[in-house]
Amino acid sequence: MTLPTRTLGPFTVSAIGLGCMNLSHAYGVPPDEAEAGKLLNRALDLGVTLLDTAALYGGGGNERLLAQAVMHRRTEFTLASKCVLDLHDGQRGLDGSPAAIARTLEGSLVRLGVDHIDLYYLHRLDRRVPIEDSVGALARAVEAGKIGAIGLSEMSAATIARAQAVHPIAAVQSEYSPVVRNPEVAVLDTCRRLGIGFVAFSPVARGLLAGAVRSEDYAPGDIRLMMPRFREPQLTHNLRAVATFEALAAALGHTPAQLALAWVLARGDDVVPIPGTTSIAHLEEDVAAAAIRLDAETLTAMDRIFAPGAIRGPRYAAAMQAQIDTELLPDEELA
């Protein structure tokens, strides 16, 4: 199958990509490798041509999963991975030094079983290291043929501009959905001014807009346990807006996840959402959203549903927020 395409730097990718994180960790018990492999191959069969992983995911296990499951189809997709946010000496943390970036990259190449990664992101900003130094390390990796292009994740407009001055940036990745609008403060405008593509992760708001959250009864290890807006008393308030959103989706004949993805796609032809899932049925549902076109009335209705105050609670707990460089919204709550 083929899907509509969009451009990220030198790459032409499907309008909807696949975030691979939750095939290895983050939202409860991940599927076994056989089932995860089936999902990855089904994504390629459906025309998905952007697979997004990271050194951090599953402690490197997600990269190994891709190597085992889909590298025999390497020519069919753009491969993206990430560095800086990783396990350093066995502990999760940031290290944006050139030496650490080089180590992580070499590890990713080994785990993925490749000698070249198409799009390689700085996963987070390490404020102890000038962004120029971190980007410079990736520029040298481009020159060495180990990566094709450079990306940034969860970084501010000012940081993006500094990075672009060192080396062209192909893509910026941040959380973006009808619920999370931080990129609209400055990042989207900066990307457009500089000709940088935008990748939207968590476009269905970590399951909140996909019918996956009804209470805070999460599985042990689920990262939403550490996210205040997914915990009580904020969650009950937030689910009221979600119920209105779900009613709108039903009236339009779409699933909530499809409506959320269609909204993200409507933000511009330079925006590529990368939903993640452990279910092939949900994957097929997500990909079908590429064919949905929303009218102005629907977009306005969604803005009303998720007007300021509709969603309460910080996006991240304090320790996680400290690793985020993206601008805050006016009056955004912080833990």
**Residues recognised as catalytic:** 57
Cβ neighbours around 303 below 10 Å, total: 12
Which residue has tokens 């990664």? 117
Cβ neighbours around 188 below 10 Å, total: 22
What is the C-alpha separation between 62 and 25, in angstroms, rounded? 9
Closest of 70, 142, 145, 76 to residue 113, by C-alpha: 70
What is the C-alpha separation between 280 and 266, in angstroms, rounded? 24
What is the C-alpha separation between 202 and 192, in angstroms, rounded? 21
Q: Are 63 and 36 in contact (CB under 8 A)?
A: no
Closest of 112, 104, 111, 114 to residue 138, by C-alpha: 104
Closest of 333, 332, 329, 6 to residue 186, by C-alpha: 329
- Run of H or E residues at 303: helix 296-305
What is the C-alpha separation between 170 and 120, in angstroms, rounded? 9
Number of residues assigned to the chain: 335
What is the CA angle 261-50-281, rounded to 5? Answer: 55
Which residue has tokens 């601008």? 327
